[in-house]
Homo-oligomer: A and B are copies of this chain.
Amino acid sequence: MRVGLLQLNPVVGDLAGNAARVEAAYADAAALGVELCITPELAITGYPPRDMLLYQGFAAKARAEAERLAERLAARFPTGPALLLGCPEQNLSGQGKALFNAAFWCEDGRIRTIIRKALLPTYDVFDEARYFEPGQPQPGSGVVEYLGRRLAVTICEDLWNDKDYWPHRLYPVDPVEVAVASGAEALLNLSASPFSLRKQTLRQNMLAAIAKKHGLPLAYCNQVGGNDDLVFDGRSAFFGPDGAMLARAEGFAEDVLVLELFGAQAQALPQDDLSAPAETWRALVLGTRDYLAKCGFKKALLGLSGGIDSAVVAAVAAEALGPDNVLGVLMPSPWSSAGSVDDSLELARNLGIKTRTIPIAPLMQGFEAALAESFAELAPGKGADITEENVQSRIRGNLLMALSNKTGALLLTTGNKSELAVGYCTIYGDMSGGFAVISDLPKTQVYALARHINALGRGEVIPPAIIDKAPSAELRPDQKDQDSLPPYNILDAILALHVEMDKTAAEIQAMGFDAATVARVCRLVKGAEFKRRQAAPGIKVAWRSFGSGWRMPLAAAPLP
């Protein structure tokens, strides 16, 4: 049985457009003699549709779109392949959540049967229990007979609960086990499994183990593309009954992968560089490109400070959108070093992006004059403090947003995860912007990415001076990040434990880190929660990220 995996990049909510994407890929696969096509999870709606699912009219229209698609395919390809299509199904039982997360088996112009997802991820960025009623695996459920074979259909998380693979299971039931007990001869899975660093190795090992354990071929179709903070890396794959990966689709691109399901020989596999900087680069480029395209933007702009963060974001934007579509804005203040301007201009030349320069000293003086009397009366005797630094940053934010509003280019923010974690950033200032390209990259990973960019074979597009200088916000004379923060290697290590691995200050201190530093970092993280609540969405790269999977209270005591 020749199977085609339709690794698609849907637009969330674009039901007709997504159906057209399925149709085009189906046509490609049909031309290759495929007998069964498989889409990613919820391919008709795109994943994750989030609260669009709460509109009953939306789910009804998604189903109607799926039905029309099935009819259209049967008309165009009378002897064409069956289609296993991800689509929400309305729950008509009168009890429980309004929908099931389902796979529609389409054959002969109609929906022959529907398989329901049983395991609903409700952690991190996932909220499936918010929308869906779980399917109830029973003997025979989820098993479809087709061309004389018994095929077990599962959806994403259904495959991730094997009792022999996971030391700690989240769910009492294993839908794969139930299907295998019902005589399944192959495993098919529709997925929308988002990218994070090291995820591909985990995923590949886990899928191989499932195939091998049950001695069954496994076809796995994953979504690709950027949807808000999530990037899906694709990499759909076939595994043999011995657990060998026999074929794999491209990473970070649409693809149609075709293989014989039973008794296939291994194909050549894409040779991806799975190092963190290489994976990060591909994820950020795709995530940025798709966010802008799916929001209707062609152009972006960003402030160029002469620092490494804005340099890396400029490089990502130039790659994602083409350099002609990127504008770098230099806004030097009296505290800006000469290097910050020269280095930015060299970076822009290297990347081929346009620049504008708008000095902000006159505006700083304007705000000083406007505020002098109020400061003197409301805070008598109080000298310059963080306030004046924030005013500068917000002047820049206002200028950048004005350029964005006037030209229709999206403003990219350039803050990194270390800054966002400890609040070393100005809300409504440098945090202004529609998309935060590197907000999930700790500063140490920003450096690694910069070096990776310079090693892509296009020369040192990021000037070494930018990589080598000591990081500085340049908001007061001779300011250096390290005057206010622990060294970034220490800071990032503590943040990884506290933010990404749910360790409390006491637990991190017990690992041998300096107690005062840990206490200070954790206090800063808590204190910056209000800034993160108003931060632009950014691209998930880490295991745990600020954004849709981070839900901390604001008016709360610090973690004990």
Q: Which residues of A contact B (CB under 8 A)?
A: 11-17, 46, 48-52, 54-58, 61, 94-97, 122-123, 127, 129-130, 168-172, 226-228, 290-291, 294-295, 327, 356, 358, 360, 362-363, 366-367, 369-371, 374-375, 377-379, 382, 385-387, 390-391, 394-395, 397-399, 401-403, 405-407, 427-428, 432, 434, 502-504, 506-507, 530, 533-537, 548, 550-560
Contacts and interface: CB of A to CB of B under 8 A. Distances in A.
Given A50-B553, A374-B356, A556-B294, A504 B382 contact: no
A394 B398 contact: yes
10 contacts: A11-B557, A13-B558, A49-B556, A94-B168, A96-B169, A129-B129, A358-B370, A370-B399, A371-B402, A378-B403
A58 B560 contact: yes
Contacts of A16: 560
B551 A398 contact: no
Contact of A49 (B370, B534, B550, B553): B553
B560 A61 contact: yes
Contacts of A536: 533-534
Contact of A553 (B227, B401, B506): B227
Contact of A386 (B12, B57, B403, B405): B405
A277 to B, nearest CB: 25
A227 to B, nearest CB: 6
Contact of A551 (B11, B51, B375, B405): B51
Nearest to A58: B559
A449 to B, nearest CB: 23
A226 B555 contact: yes
Contacts of A61: 560
B52 A290 contact: no
A557 B17 contact: yes
Contact of A537 (B94, B97, B356, B554): B554
A555 B294 contact: yes
Contact of A14 (B130, B170, B375, B557): B557
A171 to B, nearest CB: 7
A360 B363 CA distance: 12
A533 B534 CA distance: 7
Contact of A548 (B54, B534, B551): B551
A555 B363 contact: no
Contacts of A367: 363, 398-399, 402
A506 B327 CA distance: 40
Which of A11, A360, A533 counts the most chain B CB atoms within 10 A? A533
A358 B371 contact: yes
Contact of A95 (B172, B382, B407, B432): B172
B432 A405 contact: no
Contact of A391 (B94, B127, B402, B558): B402
A170 B94 CA distance: 9
Given A52-B552, A427-B432, 17 more contacts: A12-B557, A13-B553, A57-B506, A94-B168, A95-B169, A122-B122, A123-B130, A294-B556, A362-B370, A367-B399, A374-B403, A375-B406, A378-B406, A379-B406, A382-B406, A387-B406, A390-B401
Contacts of A122: 122, 127, 129-130
Contacts of A369: 362
A121 to B, nearest CB: 10
A381 to B, nearest CB: 12
A132 to B, nearest CB: 10
Nearest to A225: B555
Contacts of A558: 13
B405 A401 contact: no
Given A371-B358, A553-B50, A560 B13 contact: yes
A77 to B, nearest CB: 26
A321 to B, nearest CB: 14
A514 B350 CA distance: 54
Given A122-B122, A407-B379, A550-B51, A371 B395 contact: no
Closest 9 pairs between A and B when the two form their complex, measured CB to CB: A294-B555, A14-B557, A12-B556, A57-B504, A13-B557, A387-B405, A129-B129, A394-B398, A13-B556
Contact of A559 (B13, B228, B390, B554): B13
Contacts of A129: 122, 129-130
Nearest to A297: B555
A168 B226 CA distance: 36
A16 B560 CA distance: 9
A553 B378 CA distance: 42
Contacts of A533: 536-537
A247 to B, nearest CB: 30
Contacts of A55: 502-504, 559
A51 B547 CA distance: 12
A535 B427 CA distance: 11
A141 to B, nearest CB: 18
